[in-house]
């Protein structure tokens, strides 16, 4: 029997998103900006208390949302919990983007903005970071005159590490008169900057957050959207009734209660990040200033061969040769032991071109 499935053209015209390779458990995972120190022990204790009856019931969100809202410094009605940070981005397409409408993206950046835009059949308007990885503020202001449906801004940006402040943000928000501005703050805890205090002043501002990075809960998939009550009510219309699982809620509550563990991780990242940059620079590697839990480096034309050698030794980095040029790589800031192992392998396998 012949069957013809009526697949949307947007799906047929794009490639499947390739997830990281399996079998990574025993490797030095510096490719996905994960918290390689692990989550708080309090999370494990909280999860261990879950009962079979609780797991058999649909989760309730009111109390966990109220407690997590306090962590973000907002009201419960200003917080929407999602199934991971990716889902916190997808909901904006469900709410604002129709086939043929436009979204504005500054690349290189987090690939999920383009991923969802292609799936939804949106027109993608792309601007580019400069050679020094500077944010293209003036081009963004100009592009907003064309009234794109959504502007996605990662701040700090992944993979460049670029961070802009309130002055730049205010210019963007005042120019975006017909655009939802989504600030993706997956790495906000490492930068010390957040746009959350401005959600009541600018109703078209939304902030996307995640518990995958600083809280170390990537496997449980919990994200959040923060916005003013009236605007977030529109986004809620695009959400299913039970988007977040109970284990994620329990884990997140335990994580935010143990702020000392999260702050210790942030402090360690801030200590190791400039140290790693200096060590690499001493080896002749160009590094870029970063405000996230990662570092962008350029090893030049000889870089790809080095990355293959490191991979064979079980050291995984996020190569960006395809979209940024030969030798570009994003390195997650791991534990001190992981950083020393990485540097030892680099010193053994690579010499700067003369």
Has residue 183 got a pLDDT over 90? yes
Reported as a single tens digit per residue, the pLDDT across 1-46 is 888 788 888 888 777 766 666 788 889 999 999 999 999 999 999 9
What domains does the chain contain, in order, with CATH numbers?
A: 9-37+260-349 (3.90.1150.10), 41-257 (3.40.640.10)
pLDDT value of position 62: 96
pTM for the structure as a whole? 0.95
Alpha-carbon torsion, ordered 87, 92, 94, 100, to 10 deg: -130
Reported as a single tens digit per residue, the pLDDT across 124-157 is 999 999 999 999 999 999 999 999 999 999 999 9
Determine the Cα–Cα distance for residues 199 and 1; give it in Å rounded to an integer.
55
Tokens of 316: 């995984």
Say which residues have a Cβ less than 8 Å from residue 82's Cβ, sequence separation at least 6: 88, 91, 222, 223, 224, 225, 239, 243, 244
Q: Which DSSP helix (H) or strand (E) runs through 330?
A: strand 328-332
pLDDT value of position 206: 98
> Can the peptide bond before residue 156 be classed as cis, meaning omega within 30 degrees of 0?
yes
Looking at per-residue confidence, does 119 or 6 come out higher? 119
Determine the Cα–Cα distance for residues 289 and 241; give it in Å rounded to an integer.
41
Burial 62-76 (b: 16+ CB within 10 A, else e): eebbeebbebbebeb
Residue 116 phi/psi, 5-degree rounding, is -70, -40
Reported as a single tens digit per residue, the pLDDT across 225-265 is 999 999 999 999 999 999 999 999 999 999 999 999 999 99
pLDDT value of position 6: 86
Long-range contacts of 130-135 (CB under 8 A, 24+ apart): 132/288, 133/160, 133/161, 133/162, 133/288, 133/289, 133/296, 134/162, 135/106, 135/162, 135/164, 135/168
Residue 78 phi/psi, 5-degree rounding, is -100, 5
Least confident of 23-27, 73-77, 313-317: 23-27
pLDDT value of position 20: 66
Reported as a single tens digit per residue, the pLDDT across 189-236 is 999 999 999 999 999 999 999 999 999 999 999 999 999 999 999 999
**How many residues are given for the chain?**
354
DSSP string, 137-200: HHHHHHHGGG--SEEEEESS-TTT-----HHHHHHHHHH-TT-EEEEE-TTHHHHT--SGGGTT
């Amino acid at each position: 029997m012949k069957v013809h499935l009526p697949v949307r053209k947007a799906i047929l015209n794009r490639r499947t998103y390739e997830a990281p390779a399996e079998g990574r458990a025993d490797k030095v995972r510096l490719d996905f900006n994960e918290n390689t120190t692990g989550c708080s022990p309090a999370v494990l204790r909280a999860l261990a208390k879950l009962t079979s009856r609780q797991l058999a019931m649909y989760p309730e969100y009111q109390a966990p949302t109220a407690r997590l809202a306090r962590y973000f410094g907002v009201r419960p009605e200003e917080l929407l919990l999602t199934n991971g940070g990716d889902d916190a981005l997808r909901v904006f397409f469900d709410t604002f983007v129709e086939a043929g409408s436009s979204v504005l993206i500054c690349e290189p950046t987090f690939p999920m903005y383009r991923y969802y835009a292609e799936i939804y059949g949106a027109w993608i308007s792309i601007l580019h970071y400069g050679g020094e990885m500077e944010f293209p503020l003036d081009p963004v202001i100009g592009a907003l005159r064309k009234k794109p449906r959504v502007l996605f801004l990662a701040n700090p940006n992944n993979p460049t590490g670029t961070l802009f402040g309130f002055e730049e943000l205010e210019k963007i928000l005042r120019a975006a008169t017909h655009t939802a501005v989504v600030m993706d703050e997956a790495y906000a805890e490492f930068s010390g900057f957040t746009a959350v205090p401005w959600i009541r002043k600018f109703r078209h501002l939304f902030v996307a957050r995640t518990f995958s990075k600083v809280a170390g809960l990537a496997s449980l998939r919990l994200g959040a959207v923060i916005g003013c009550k009236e605007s977030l009510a529109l986004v809620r219309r695009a959400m299913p009734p039970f988007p977040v699982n109970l284990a994620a809620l329990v884990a997140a509550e335990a994580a935010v209660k143990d702020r000392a563990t999260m702050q210790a991780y942030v402090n360690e990242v801030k200590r190791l990040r400039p140290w790693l940059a200096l060590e690499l620079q001493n080896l002749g590697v160009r590094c870029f200033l970063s405000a996230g839990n990662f570092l962008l480096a350029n090893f030049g034309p000889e870089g790809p061969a080095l990355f293959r050698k490191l991979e064979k030794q079980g050291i995984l980095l996020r190569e960006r040769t395809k979209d940024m040029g030969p030798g570009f790589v994003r390195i997650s800031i791991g534990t001190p032991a992981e950083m020393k192992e990485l540097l030892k392998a680099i010193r053994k396998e690579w010499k700067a071109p003369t």
